[in-house]
């Protein structure tokens, strides 16, 4: 594999494009918005500058990485020469199915189609294509250039050779691949989201406040970040959507999202991206202050 197309120039998409380009792959970053593509390239450049400042890479490696990147606002043109397409669009089932129909029509016959989804069924996505054996989950963690894990998810029809290729590719990127099967939440979110939901319930029921809940998990369980602040970084809307996938997929009330989480998302308090969730965030600052929850 040499030609990689990444669809979606948001936080995950630009991180995925960054990692592939830094490891010598020719990358086409695709988004319907040219402004979003320009912003993504700027973000990648700034992140490369940080790596140079920390002596992780050289100026020459930074220049080479940027040379490996091109952008395109047209999906058909952007995937026409791809060996691998990684879709990293918004976590919306209808949108992802629409994108996969498009890339299936335009990508070369031997191209592998991967999705960065954190919870949507790989089997369901694969079913709208004519190549379900070549569809796989490639779930990177945020921030992509730093986090080592890639959760590789086999759909029901995913070919074993495709899984082996994506596993080897992940290692080539300097990542640690973990292969799992396609059931609601996969592994990462099947374990993580109930923990976050339980933390929200503990707050909702008045067991402890935000700072105490996060401190207990950081100092008592050696988590680098407490579950409520982690939820803010993931996006409370994303957490809610994944919990609903788990609840619908298993039909088990233990996955029912806490009413407080539902209210916060309804009110537009989505975490870091909206400036407020369980904490308030100041642009350009790493400071976060717990909010007074109503």
Residue 148 makes CB contacts below 8 A (sequence gap 6+) with 141, 174, 175, 176
Query: Quick one: tokens of 221?
Result: 């369980």
Q: What is the mean pLDDT of residues 260-279?
A: 96
Q: What is the mean pLDDT of residues 201-219?
A: 97
- Each residue of 96-136: pLDDT tens digit? 999 999 999 999 999 999 999 998 999 999 999 999 999 99
- Name the average pLDDT for the chain: 96
Q: Which of 14, 26, 116, 189 is catalytic?
A: 189
Establish whether 285 is a catalytic residue.
Answer: no
CATH tag, 189-290: 1.10.1040.10
pLDDT(286) > 90:
no
Domain ranges of the chain: 3-181, 189-290
Q: Which of 26, 68, 139, 197 is catalytic?
A: 139
Q: What is the mean pLDDT of residues 225-230?
A: 97
- Each residue of 235-264: pLDDT tens digit? 999 999 999 999 999 999 999 999 999 999
Tell me the whole-structure pTM to 2 decimals: 0.92
**3-state secondary structure at position 217:** helix
Equal fold, 3-181 vs 189-290: no
Establish whether 47 is a catalytic residue.
Answer: no
Q: How confident is the model at residue 281 (pLDDT cuts 50, 70, 90)?
A: very high
- Each residue of 50-66: pLDDT tens digit? 999 999 999 999 999 99
Report the C-alpha gap between 124 and 96 in whole angstroms: 10
Superfamily name with CATH number, domain 3-181: NAD(P)-binding Rossmann-like Domain (3.40.50.720)
pLDDT value of residue 95 = 96
Identify which of 188, 190, 203 has the alpha carbon closest to the alpha carbon of residue 152. Answer: 188
What's the half-sphere exposure (Cβ side, CA atoms, 13 Å) at 24?
6
Q: Which of 5, 151, 170, 197 is catalytic?
A: 151
Rounded to 10°, the helix 34-53/11-22 angle is: 50
Query: Quick one: tokens of 147?
Result: 């986090």
């Amino acid at each position: 594999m040499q030609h990689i197309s990444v669809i979606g120039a948001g936080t995950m998409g630009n991180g995925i494009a960054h990692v592939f380009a830094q490891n010598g792959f020719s990358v086409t970053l695709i988004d319907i918005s040219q402004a979003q593509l320009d912003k993504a390239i700027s973000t990648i450049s700034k992140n490369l500058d940080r790596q140079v400042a920390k002596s992780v890479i050289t100026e020459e490696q930074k220049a080479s990485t940027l040379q490996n990147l091109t952008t395109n606002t047209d999906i058909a043109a952007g995937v026409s020469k791809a060996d691998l397409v990684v879709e990293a669009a918004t976590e919306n089932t209808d949108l992802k199915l629409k994108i996969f129909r498009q890339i299936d029509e335009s990508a070369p016959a031997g191209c592998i189609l991967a999705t960065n989804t954190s919870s949507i069924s790989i089997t369901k996505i694969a079913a709208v294509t004519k190549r379900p054996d070549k569809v796989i989950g490639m779930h990177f963690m945020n921030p992509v250039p730093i986090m080592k894990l890639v959760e590789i998810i086999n759909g029901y029809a995913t070919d074993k050779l495709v899984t082996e290729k994506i596993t080897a590719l992940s290692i080539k990127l300097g990542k640690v691949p973990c292969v799992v099967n396609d059931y609601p939440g996969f592994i990462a979110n099947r374990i993580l989201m109930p923990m976050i939901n339980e933390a929200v319930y503990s707050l909702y029921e008045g067991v402890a406040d935000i700072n105490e809940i996060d401190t207990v998990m950081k100092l008592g369980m050696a988590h680098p970040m407490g579950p409520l602040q982690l939820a803010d970084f993931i996006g409370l809307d994303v957490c809610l959507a994944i919990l609903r996938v788990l609840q619908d997929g298993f039909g088990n009330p233990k996955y029912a999202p806490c009413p407080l989480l539902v209210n916060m998302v309804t009110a537009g308090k989505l975490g870091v991206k909206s400036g407020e969730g369980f904490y308030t965030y100041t642009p350009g600052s790493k400071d976060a202050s717990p909010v007074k929850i109503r």
